[in-house]
Amino acid sequence: MKTTILRPAVMLAVFGFAIFSAFAFKPVKAEKTLAVFQGYIQNSPGNCENKNVECQDQDNGQPCLYGVTQLRKMNSSGTDCPSLLWKIEE
C-alpha cells in the first residue's frame, strides 16, 4: 500500500523539481545600456554642426531629427559625422 502511494508521489516531486530548476536557474540577459550622443548636421563632408539634441545610435526606426534633417553621430576623431542617429524612446 505504501509503495503504491509513495512511488507516484516521488515521481511527481522529481518531475516538479526538474521543471522548477529549468526556469529558476536560467541565465538572465543583461540589459543594454543606452548610449546617448549629441546630434550633428552634416553641412558638407568633414563639416558637421552640433545641434545640441540627444539621440541614440541603435536603429529603432524613428530618426532623430532637427527640423526635417536626420542628425548624425560625430566619429571618434571629431572630423566627420558619417553615422545616422535615432530618436531616444522614452
Range 44-64 average pLDDT:
91
Domain membership flag for residue 56:
yes
Q: Find residue 55's DSSP bridge partners.
A: 37
Domain annotation covers residue 6: no
Contact 63, 73 (CB under 8 A): no
Q: How many domains does the chain have?
A: 1
Model confidence band, residue 45 (pLDDT cutoffs 50, 70, 90): confident
Q: The C-alpha cell of 2 is what?
A: 505504501
- Residue where the block lists cell 523539481: 17
Domain region containing 77: 36-84
Give the mean pLDDT of 49-64.
92
Q: Is residue 72 part of a domain?
A: yes
